[in-house]
Structure 1
Amino acid sequence: MSRFSLTLVSIFALSLAACDRSAPDAAQESGASSAASGEIDRGNAGALMPAANLRDLEERELNLGAVQGTPVLLNLWATWCAPCIKEMPLLDELAGDYGESLRVLTVSQDMGGPDKVADFFAQNRFDHLESWMDPQAELGFALGGGSLPTTVMYDAQGQEVWRVRGDYDWSSEEARAAIDAVLAN
């Protein structure tokens, strides 16, 4: 299967499993599966961060395989995903609160190029978030596809500690305690 075909299959899979922009809270309240429950899941603990290449709005490249030494909270999102949009200000606040002790990477899964992401960041004026993109959905595929948002916490050695699929309150005591526990190790 060609790379283009794999990309199309990935896009289709992410689209099917992704959030519902019309009713983001309904899926959470209707007994959605645990894969999109908005709860901390430690089932993949120990997995290494994928060595995917990301691009920012200025076309600079970041290889995730080289991001070590600081814990990373990696968030996959899209401009068309209502729960993702709801989380972004909370992630921006989180990044500001933790400063250099935690790198918060938000990675857009939008396929239409950087314009949508640039417009979204300009409209929302985030102070602490970096705007990274994964236009080929390689990272989403490497993390098992599935729903958006997906957020994965990695320790300073690049090993997964836990993940959250679906909407999550990043300002909650539970979120802060889970992050603090990673930073303490």
Structure 2
Amino acid sequence: MPETPPSEPTAKPTAKRRIPLVVGAVLVGAVLGYIGVSSLRHPAGGDVACNSAVDLAKKIAPLAHGEVAALTMATTPLRLPDLAFEDANGQPKKLSDWRGKTVLVNLWATWCVPCRKEMPALDSLQTKLGGKDFEVVAINIDTRDPDKPKNFLKEANLTKLDYFSDRKAKVFQDLKNIGKALGMPTSVLVDGKGCEIANIAGPAEWASDDAIKLVKAALAPAAAGF
């Protein structure tokens, strides 16, 4: 009885092993393809819960002209970090404390000349629109004399803005890390879910008719359950 060639008994098992390898490759390809399609639907880093904020940004984009032409409208869903700071009494506050309310987060400092010039307009915006649906949350990031920014607000008779501060300026770094703080002042319009609607690097005339119309338009969907 002739001997079986050494290649024959090993040839069949090799063929069998190739089948699961091919199937595995097909499965991996399918998974990668799904991930690729998913990444197109939801950009990397995007939060699908913030899609409504992007839709809102598109709707109100035509209002970003005149005194607020420098606003950059959100095009990718982004939930802001839960910024941590303190109120006038030194009590801890977080951005999430304003969930359900549209907020204009503003970072300012007394050493920043454009910031100081912008504060009266922010105070006026709070006077006109501040309430159950909207608030200006202006966070001071002076890192030295804590009385200096308080005295500035008092001397300028800016009484409508609540005082918030972060003496470590971590709020600036947190926004910088996501590309939303390039300089001072920095402002981000945030919806009730903590999602970005728009941002601006530099000052704006927030008391202008242009700004009032845009902010009101940002509030309307929230009031209507958008």
Q: TM-score category by the smaller chain?
A: 0.7 to 0.9
More relative contact order, 1 or 2 (CA 8 Å, 6+ apart): 1
Counterpart pick for 2:186 among 147, 150, 164: 150
Q: Give 5+ residue unaligned stretches, structure 2.
A: 1-67, 222-226
TM superposition score normalised by structure 1: 0.74
Tell me the residue number matched to 1:54.
Answer: 85
Give the whole-Å Cα distance in 1 for the aligned partners of 2:174 and 2:116: 22
Q: Deviations over 1:27-62 (max 9, x none)?
A: xxxxxxxxxx97100246532132122112321111
Matched residues, number: 149
Are the structure 2 counterparts of residues 114 and 39 from structure 1 closer, same or farther at C-alpha, using a change threshold of 3 Å? same
Give the whole-Å Cα distance in 2 for the aligned partners of 1:177 and 1:63: 27
Are the structure 2 counterparts of residues 45 and 91 from structure 1 closer, same or farther at C-alpha, using a change threshold of 3 Å? farther
Shift of 1:148: 0.5
Give the whole-Å Cα distance in 2 for the aligned partners of 1:178 and 1:45: 19
1:166 partnered with 2:202: yes
Percent identity of equivalent pairs: 31
Higher helix proportion (structure 1 or 2): 2
TM superposition score normalised by structure 2: 0.62
Tell me the residue number matched to 1:107.
Answer: 139
Q: Say which one has the larger Rg.
A: 2
Are the structure 2 counterparts of residues 121 and 44 from structure 1 closer, same or farther at C-alpha, using a change threshold of 3 Å? farther
Q: Give 5+ residue unaligned stretches, structure 1.
A: 1-36
Give the whole-Å Cα distance in 1 for the aligned partners of 2:76 and 2:167: 26
1:148/1:165 contact within 8 Å kept: yes
Give the whole-Å Cα distance in 2 for the aligned partners of 1:111 and 1:97: 30
Runs of 4+ displaced beyond 4 Å: none
1:87 partnered with 2:118: yes
